Structure 1
Amino acid sequence: MGEKTAEALPRRALFGGNGTAGVMPWTDPQRIFERCTGCGACTRACPEGIVTSGRGGHPYIEFTSACTFCGACAEACPEDVFDTARTPPMAAVARIGESCFEPLGISCRACEDACPEMALRTRPQLGGTARVEVSDAACTGCGACVSVCPVNAVEIVPNA
Structure 2
Amino acid sequence: MAAQDSTAVSRRAFLGGHDPTDVMPWTTSEIMREACTGCGACVEACPEGILHQGRGGHPVLDFSSPCTFCAACAEACPEPVFDLERDPPWTAVAVVASGCLEPQGIACRACEDACDHDALRARPMLGGRAEMRVDADACTGCGGCVPVCPTGAIQIREQEPADA
Note the aligned Cα RMSD (angstroms).
Answer: 1.7
Number of residues of Structure 1 aligned to a counterpart in Structure 2: 151
Could you state the TM-score of these two structures normalised by the residue count of structure 1? 0.89
* Counterparts in 2 of 1:93 and 1:29: CA distance versus 1, 3 Å: same
Distance, in Å, in 2 between the alignment partners of 1:149 and 1:104 is 14
1:41 match: 41
Alpha-carbon contact 1:114-1:145 (below 8 Å) kept: yes
2:107 maps to amino acid: S
Shift of residue 16 of structure 1? 3.5
Identify which of 7, 10, 13 aligns with 1:10: 13
Could you state the TM-score of these two structures normalised by the residue count of structure 2? 0.87
How do 1:62-77 residues align onto structure 2 when only pairs under 5 Å count? 62-77=62-77
How do 1:1-160 residues align onto structure 2 when only pairs under 5 Å count? 9-10=12-13, 14-16=17-19, 21-160=21-160
Gaps of 5+ in 2: 1-9
Alpha-carbon contact 1:16-1:53 (below 8 Å) kept: no
Gaps of 5+ in 1: 1-6
Alpha-carbon contact 1:39-1:57 (below 8 Å) kept: yes
* Counterparts in 2 of 1:82 and 1:114: CA distance versus 1, 3 Å: same
Secondary structure of residue in 2 paired with 1:9: helix
For residues 95-117 of structure 1, the C-alpha deviation after alignment (integer angstroms, 9 at most, x for no partner) is 00111000000000000111111
Shift of residue 56 of structure 1? 1.2
- Identity of counterpart residues, as a percentage? 56
Secondary structure of residue in 1 paired with 2:106: coil
